[in-house]
Homo-oligomer: A and B are copies of this chain.
């Protein structure tokens, strides 16, 4: 993931939710949050979702860690969110851009082994070549070994959650580098411990 922390001086955000399919979903979410250090991102949670903002690496670090620590309980858990960069008019949380690039949760995430399945879609805005930008990142994902197949409106990734999030991060960051003022969003659903047979 060389270079992923360089040249990304623009703030990245992610609006996401983590859905544990269990009666004690509140405990699973709170338990995961207690294990995640969110001090390098701006964060706000309401009754529908959580929004985190900051440097790209910390946004992905925190998103991945919350998912992994919720999923390691063994409960069927889904992370569903949209990453965004370059949204016109975007502000708030800008002070978090002065944090260094040391990921606070990478070690604890790497200590867990969670098998994940993801469907993601890139949306490069206001770009006539957007289909090519998407195709390039799908090709890139294929080289990671996590890409499984294309499905309607999305691409599928399977593998260890750390690898799946690494591919997601790379696809998003690379797509946003096509232009220093680009506006790119990426939706991602990442699922673990589903009782359904994997369709890969």
Residues of chain A having any CB pair with chain B under 8 Å: 13, 15, 17, 19-23, 25-26, 44, 46-49, 51, 53, 76, 78, 80, 82, 84, 87-88, 90, 92, 117-119, 121, 123, 125-128, 130-131, 151-154, 156, 185, 187, 189, 191, 194-199
Contacts and interface: CB of A to CB of B under 8 A. Distances in A.
Contacts of A119: 15, 48-49
A51 to B, nearest CB: 5
A13 B152 CA distance: 8
A128 B125 CA distance: 8
Copies, count: 2
Contact of A126 (B49, B126, B195): B126
23 contacts: A15-B151, A15-B152, A19-B21, A22-B22, A47-B191, A47-B198, A47-B199, A48-B78, A48-B156, A48-B199, A51-B151, A51-B152, A53-B152, A80-B80, A80-B189, A82-B154, A84-B153, A88-B131, A123-B125, A123-B185, A126-B126, A126-B127, A187-B187
A17 B153 contact: no
Nearest to A197: B47
Given A13-B153, A15-B119, A19-B78, 10 more contacts: A17-B80, A19-B19, A21-B25, A26-B195, A47-B191, A51-B151, A51-B152, A51-B153, A87-B153, A126-B130
Contacts of A90: 152
A16 B198 CA distance: 17
B152 A46 contact: no
Given A126-B127, A128-B126, A195-B26, A82 B121 contact: yes
Contacts of A19: 19, 21, 78, 80
